Structure 1
Amino acid sequence: MQFPHPDLFDSGMTRRAALKSASAGFGYVALAGMLGQQLPKTARASEIAPLAPKKPHFTPRAKRVIFLFMQGATSQMDTWEYKPQLQANDGKVGPGGGTLTASKFKFSQYGETGTWVSELYPHVAQHVDKLCFLRGLHTDTPAHPQAVIQLHTGTALASLTRPSMGAWMMYGLGTENQDLPGYITINPPPNFGGAVNYGSAFLPAHFQGTRINDTGYLPNLQASAPFALQRKQIDLIQSLNRDLGRQPNAPDELDGVIQSYELAFKMQGKVPELLDISQEPEVVREAYGVKPGPAGSFARQCLMARRLCEAGVRFIEVCHPGWDQHNNLHQGLIRNSAATDQPTAALLADLHQRGLLDETLVLFGSEFGRLPTSQGPDGRDHNITGYPMWMAGAGVKPGFSYGATDEYGQHAIEGRMHTTDLHATLLALMGLDHELLTYPYAGREFRLTDVAGNVVKEIFS
């Protein structure tokens, strides 16, 4: 599908609470990055403008990340991993016990690389020569909540909530667009960690992700007061700050720079327009498979991700839940792939045509994979010992596979990558050294990869 050229196209309220309400949360996040323009020169740069663009540790290969998260664990041997031995030994006892179960879906080779892809993903299959497969991933826990949290924050330990990987990138790099948050998550799952997966934990709050939904509206915008009332709130804040500014103990810098929230207030008019995909030409919406209702949710998310990417958002996550298929595997895979195949392919094509794929890293995957053996009449259980993800775009080799699982797709045997290795590699692609990206808290220096993580340079272009 060819895309058109982009050129076608109450009085007791505290001041801080009122500010958050008046700027609808969205502008409040970006506001924190604008304050440096009017603060004393003696303040530290990190305190003055924490969201301003920062110099990376070394030359980055990618400017931004789009993470397509398939929550629930996609069955790899039915989608991206063709295993002839599994097909040939259907019904036999596997090496670790259990009944080996061949995939019911046909695999074919695509592209100049001859990469095997299931019939479930015919649209993405047309782009295999752009993809870089990581086939030797493994993680620590087979429980969804812990694994999802580990994928997003680097640890599954419940003793201390850690910052999400998007928050770490914001902390390390700042944002490209001071009118927008640098980290946006669309339709994040409410369970399996919830807000922990896009939170900032002990990092300052302005590094956390901003949650939106696939209809293009922010929850805070929907719940905000009428425009005229918001204007009265702002006028009240201005009056309060002018009075308090005359006192010996003046408020902190966020409350003191009253002019900045005027800009945040104005952003309410810009944000809905940016997220309104109805502005896109019909041919573009058709290419993504945009349709009304839940069936078109992922397509809307992908198109919104491209628009946010174009506007300079640093880290964007979109989510498709429902891959936890211990039963009804066959029909579940058909349903989920139908919802994600065309939009994913369209996103890759659209980014490529606009010249954005050369500076944007796309990551596609789940918290873990599935076993090659059956569970009940039509299901597969969790597998944390070997599963794939793929990347595309900035900084990675196209048409390349790194690592491998055994002949049945159960254990990673070559190019093994732990979740910490994935995080170290993602940070490196963004120009950040995972060992240097630290934050002092509770008497020690914390980092996304904790005390582990190796950068897999073999996949770098």
Structure 2
Amino acid sequence: MNLLQEWNTYQTRRQLFTRGKNVLGGAALASLFGESLANASNAHAPGPQFPPKAKRVIYLHMVGGPSQMDLFDYKPQMQAYYDKDLPESIRNGQRLTTMTSGQARFPIAPSKFQFSAAGQCGLMMNTQLLPNLAKNADDICWMRSLHTEAINHEPAICAMQTGNQIGGRPCLGSWASYGLGSMNSNLPTFVVLIATPSNREQEQAISSRLWSSGYLPGEHAGVSFRSKGDPILFINNPPGVPDSVRKRTIEGLNALNEINYQEVGDPETHTRIQQYEMAFRMQASVPELTDITKEPDHIYKLYGEEAKKPGSFANSVLMARRLAERGVRFIQIYHNNWDHHSNVGGRMPSQCKDVDQPCHALIQDLKQRGMFDDTLIIWGGEFGRTIYSQGGLTKENYGRDHHPRCFSMWMAGGGTRGGQIYGETDDFSYNIVKDPVHINDLNATILHLMGIDHRKFSFKFQGLDQRLTGVEEHHPVKAVLA
């Protein structure tokens, strides 16, 4: 089959999947406020392949790469190695970034923070900076053996989000939207929130390509909510334009787009129709969603006063709970400034203060609403940090470079096994010695919890059946499943 024939076959297949909603034509457009459009938009979603444990996901991405040995990977042996060079037998020729490859020495920097056992599971973690999260130790599945091939931020975060270091591919949230469809006709299936850290010493760029739908239909891209001004640009009517005029305008545009679709058959034309319709419906749903002033006092006590500050991590997590309870399938929060090349002693406390109480509050809040068991919470960055110090070293301060060979993440709820401690690294938190978890194993696990077999979940593009987890052999981590 030549490329033109394949393209025509693909177009015909897509039209076949969506023709059911096109037959109604203008009648479908007239039902702008009804559930039928949301149901129609799910018509081509593959759906779960087995009963899902997680109906929705809240993914908390710590941009920059949190230092695992300063948080969850306790290495007391390193105190005896203070300021000694990392043994070459441990590094074993690993490629370094240009930020430390020219260093004359690689002095070991033990964590300066206090660790103690948390929960019945006994995880040794940084209870000095994360005292609230420690209360949830037995609700959380701790993974200390993640690894990736990427050593710099852009390819690493791209790989974590899309399964590949090369851009242009769909992210996890878009795959979830494509595979499972919407649970709410008045809000997007996939929403992105960018939280502003209290310390802004060394932030990484966060671009919209991280929530792109790639080669999937555009309707599955993440919708970014802003913390200031209108939550979504251009969602409100211009001055002097009432809803009735806006509605008639959209109906006219959609009728023209429908004619264009019937002539050309481009699936992205339907994306445009759905985006216009969703924007109109969100004019009513978004103001109610983003008005958190009606939250009771006990909620602010739970999340902390920072939750009242637009754009803070606490505010974003509270917003994520509101989105989740209104049927948004996938919520992604990015929290910046975890790229600790210097001043770990000064920056780590502020970073942990940002996330500690809100993460604890989210777990408790979901529990009291009966949503914890079917909501998957994910916390982590794109890679880890080195045990050796970048630049100068004192017992009060040090820096850490990028480290892809091992890092820590955690998951809670959504069918994960609380109190599970999975994976083990060597005494230097430099190499994995037990139960390695590749980032695509993690993505396979997340899909599994959502009722999807990653091996059978693909999308035809450029002649190949593309998958989130790629073509290499990866598996869900069964030990972390409840």
Deviations 1:207-265 (A, max 9, x none): 11110124584231467523626643543454577799999x77979789999967852
Deviations 1:151-174 (A, max 9, x none): 11110025xx10001101111111
Which secondary structure does the structure 1 equivalent of 2:151 belong to? coil
Which secondary structure does the structure 1 equivalent of 2:121 belong to? coil
Partner of 1:88: 80
Instruction: Compute the displacement of 1:94 (Å).
Output: 1.9
Instruction: Compute the displacement of 1:339 (Å).
Output: 0.9
| Contact preservation (8 Å) 2:443, 2:469 | yes
| Contact preservation (8 Å) 1:170, 1:207 | yes
Tell me how far apart the structure 2 counterparts of residues 68 and 104 of structure 1 sit (CA, whole Å).
Answer: 25
Structure 1 residue 220 corresponds to structure 2 residue 209: no
Distance 1:233 1:215, change over 3 A: closer
Tell me how far apart the structure 1 counterparts of residues 144 and 419 of structure 2 sit (CA, whole Å).
Answer: 13
| Contact preservation (8 Å) 1:149, 1:193 | no
| Contact preservation (8 Å) 2:218, 2:271 | no
Note the 1:287-302 alignment, pairs <5 A.
Answer: 287-291=302-306, 297-302=312-317
Q: 1:149 aligns with which of 152, 158, 161?
A: 158
Structure 1 residue 197 corresponds to structure 2 residue 210: yes
Instruction: Compute the displacement of 1:83 (Å).
Output: 0.7
Structure 2: which amino acid aligns with 1:51? N
Deviations 1:384-430 (A, max 9, x none): 00111000112111100111111111111211111111111111111
Distance 1:376 1:356, change over 3 A: same
Tell me how far apart the structure 1 counterparts of residues 318 and 417 of structure 2 sit (CA, whole Å).
Answer: 25
Structure 1 residue 271 corresponds to structure 2 residue 262: no
Deviations 1:3-57 (A, max 9, x none): xxxxxxxxxxxxxxxxxxxxxxxxxxxxxxxx98853289xx9998333575311
Percent of residue pairs identical:
37
Partner of 1:50: 41
Q: TM-score, normalised by structure 1?
A: 0.83
Tell me how far apart the structure 2 counterparts of residues 244 and 153 of structure 1 sit (CA, whole Å).
Answer: 31
Note the 1:11-410 alignment, pairs <5 A.
Answer: 39-40=22-23, 49-51=40-42, 55-96=47-88, 98-118=106-126, 119-158=128-167, 161-187=168-194, 192=205, 194-215=207-228, 217-221=230-234, 225-226=238-239, 228=241, 231-238=244-251, 265-291=280-306, 297-377=312-392, 378-410=398-430
| Contact preservation (8 Å) 2:60, 2:380 | yes
| Contact preservation (8 Å) 1:296, 1:339 | no
Which secondary structure does the structure 1 equivalent of 2:378 belong to? strand
Distance 1:171 1:291, change over 3 A: same
Structure 2: which amino acid aligns with 1:99? P
Tell me how far apart the structure 2 counterparts of residues 268 and 434 of structure 1 sit (CA, whole Å).
Answer: 36
| Contact preservation (8 Å) 2:63, 2:204 | no
Which segment drifts farther, 292-301 or 422-431?
292-301
Which segment drifts farther, 236-245 or 168-177?
236-245
Which secondary structure does the structure 2 equivalent of 1:435 belong to? helix
| Contact preservation (8 Å) 1:89, 1:100 | yes
Tell me how far apart the structure 1 counterparts of residues 341 and 117 of structure 2 sit (CA, whole Å).
Answer: 28
Tell me how far apart the structure 2 counterparts of residues 153 and 255 of structure 1 sit (CA, whole Å).
Answer: 24
Instruction: Compute the displacement of 1:358 (Å).
Output: 0.5
Tell me how far apart the structure 2 counterparts of residues 172 and 181 of structure 1 sit (CA, whole Å).
Answer: 14
Instruction: Compute the displacement of 1:283 (Å).
Output: 2.0
Instruction: Compute the displacement of 1:444 (Å).
Output: 1.0
| Contact preservation (8 Å) 2:37, 2:185 | no
Which secondary structure does the structure 1 equivalent of 2:306 belong to? coil
Distance 1:241 1:163, change over 3 A: closer
Tell me how far apart the structure 1 counterparts of residues 137 and 321 of structure 2 sit (CA, whole Å).
Answer: 20
Distance 1:430 1:293, change over 3 A: closer
Structure 1 residue 455 corresponds to structure 2 residue 476: yes
Structure 2: which amino acid aligns with 1:126? K
Structure 2: which amino acid aligns with 1:140? E
Which secondary structure does the structure 2 equivalent of 1:150 belong to? helix
Which secondary structure does the structure 2 equivalent of 1:455 belong to? coil
Distance 1:305 1:263, change over 3 A: closer
Which segment drifts farther, 192-201 or 249-258?
249-258
Distance 1:322 1:191, change over 3 A: closer
Tell me how far apart the structure 2 counterparts of residues 350 and 64 of structure 1 sit (CA, whole Å).
Answer: 15
| Contact preservation (8 Å) 1:65, 1:361 | yes
Distance 1:286 1:296, change over 3 A: farther
Distance 1:193 1:435, change over 3 A: farther
Which secondary structure does the structure 2 equivalent of 1:317 belong to? strand
Which segment drifts farther, 193-202 or 136-145?
193-202
Tell me how far apart the structure 2 counterparts of residues 86 and 176 of structure 1 sit (CA, whole Å).
Answer: 49
Structure 1: which amino acid aligns with 2:342? N
Which segment drifts farther, 121-130 or 79-88?
79-88
Instruction: Compute the displacement of 1:266 (Å).
Output: 4.2
Structure 2: which amino acid aligns with 1:312? G
| Contact preservation (8 Å) 1:361, 1:391 | yes
Tell me how far apart the structure 1 counterparts of residues 152 and 275 of structure 2 sit (CA, whole Å).
Answer: 45
Tell me how far apart the structure 2 counterparts of residues 245 and 422 of structure 1 sit (CA, whole Å).
Answer: 40
Which segment drifts farther, 101-110 or 275-284?
275-284
Deviations 1:112-153 (A, max 9, x none): 111112111011001001110111110011110110111111
Which secondary structure does the structure 2 equivalent of 1:68 belong to? strand
Tell me how far apart the structure 2 counterparts of residues 414 and 126 of structure 1 sit (CA, whole Å).
Answer: 26
Tell me how far apart the structure 1 counterparts of residues 298 and 329 of structure 2 sit (CA, whole Å).
Answer: 27
Deviations 1:272-319 (A, max 9, x none): 111222121122123212338879700000100111111111111112
Which segment drifts farther, 180-189 or 219-228?
219-228
Number of equivalent positions: 422
Tell me how far apart the structure 2 counterparts of residues 263 and 408 of structure 1 sit (CA, whole Å).
Answer: 51
| Contact preservation (8 Å) 1:188, 1:194 | no
CA RMSD across the alignment: 3.3
| Contact preservation (8 Å) 1:36, 1:49 | no
Q: TM-score, normalised by structure 2?
A: 0.80
